Each structure stands twice: as structure tokens, then as C-alpha cells.
A = this chain, B = another copy of it.
Amino acid sequence: MNAADDVLTILRTRSLSGVLEREIEKAILAGEIPAGKRVNENLLATRFGTSRGPVREALRALEGLGLVELIPNRGVFIRQPELEEAIEIYDVRTVLFGHAGKLLAERATETVIARLRDYLEQMEAAARSRDFDSYYPLNLAFHEFIIDSCGNATLAAQYRGLVKKLHLFRARSLVQGGGLEVSNSEHREMVDAVAARDPERAQRAHAEHVARAKARLIAACRKAAGEAQPQPN
């Protein structure tokens, strides 16, 4: 991410359908449009004060990103992953995040490591005072920072796409609060491994952090389903 990319981003956002793409994506991820339901083009067009053309274009872009699904003559539907797909996504995320950790341990500058430690301290402070409202965004920013600092923009883009898709999983809320202290001890191990310049250890720490989130999700789903349907993996 350099200055040229920023300019490009601004320019892309200038075009009407570009703005629509972002706005509709935001609306979808915020859950404004009922998941799994059809997206009404006319409604969106009138809502944003445009014609249906740009709306359709934005929706096709979102289709390419994998957030919606197109069924001919029926319309655009918001994708809603089943548990099986959520597990798949978590598995890929695990691998990518693990690799990000490895890269970080190999390449991170001292400045980056200092910022990681800074995030860690803030999160620990928030966890101690049970301040979930400030912990959550911190946690998010921490993970974003790791992905952005690993030095592989392609990996970062792929990872972000996966996280977005995971937002569409119906039972996502089940895994939201996954224990502040538990999560933070994992964070500490991640940062320590990076600071120790140990790629293997960093990879393991980062991967296991996501893998445990996956495990929590599966456990929560099983519990919610009343142990009705045993899940593999």
C-alpha cells in the first residue's frame, strides 16, 4: 500500500457505481438486508437516488467478490455460508494468518514490533477492566495491522475477503465474545514469537489463534444445535 494505491482508491470511489459498491457492501455486512433474501434493485436505486444501472454494476462487482449470488431472472441473493463453508473459510484463514505471522517474524521492523506490543498492552488493559467496547475494535485493528504489515498485499486482500464472507455466516455472533484473557494470552504468544524473530513459532502461534476461534465456533454451533448434528473436523 503506497500513495499511488491511495489515489487509485479515491478515484475508484469517485465513480457512482464504485460508491454504490462500497455502500451496498456496508449495508450487507451490517445486516441491513436480510441475509439470504433477494436484493431489490429498485429499492437500492431509489435509496441512493440513482438508476438501476449503477446498482446492477455494483452488485456484479460484489458477486465477483463472493458476497452475493446471482440467479438469472430471480435476482441477486446475499450469500449465506453454511457451517461447512464457514469451517472451510476458517481453515484457509488459519493457513493465511499463520503465513502472515511467519513473514512478520522474518521481516518486521522494530517499529512494527513496538506497535504490536502497544496494541497488546492496550488490549490487556481493556481486558483487565472488562471494557469490551474498546477491546473489540482494538482486537480488530491488531489483526488488520498484522495482515497489513506482513508485506504481502495479495495475502492481505485474500484474507480480508475471507473475513467479509465470514461476516455473512448466520451464527457468527456465537463466536464474537471468545474470552478476553484467553484471546489475549494467544496474542502475547504471537507478538513474542515475532519479536523473537522465530518464524516457525510465529507461524504456529498465529495459525493456532485462528484455529482456536474456529474450534470455539464449532463448539458454539454444536451447543446451539443441542448436540443434534455431530460435525466433522
A70 within 8 A of B: yes
Which stretch, A134-142, A152-160, A186-194, A209-217, touches the partner chain B? A152-160
Q: What number of A residues sit within 8 Å (CB to CB) of B? A: 39
Q: Which of A8, A99, A157 has the most CB of B within 10 A?
A: A99
Q: Chain A binding site: helix, strand, loop or mixed by DSSP?
A: helix
Q: List, in ascending order, chain B residues with CB within 8 A of A96's CB.
A: 92, 95
- Mask, A5-41, CB within 8 Å of B = 1, is 0001001101101100000000000000000000000
Find chain B residues with CB under 8 A from A153 CB.
Answer: 85, 88
User: Across the two chains, which residue of chain B brings its CB closest to A85?
Assistant: B154
Contact A155 B91 (CB under 8 A): yes
Q: Mark A67-110, 1 if CB is under 8 A from B, else 0.
A: 00111110000000000010011011001101100000000000
Q: Which of A56, A70, A96 has the most CB of B within 10 A?
A: A70
Task: Tell yes or no: A174 within 8 A of B by CB.
Answer: no
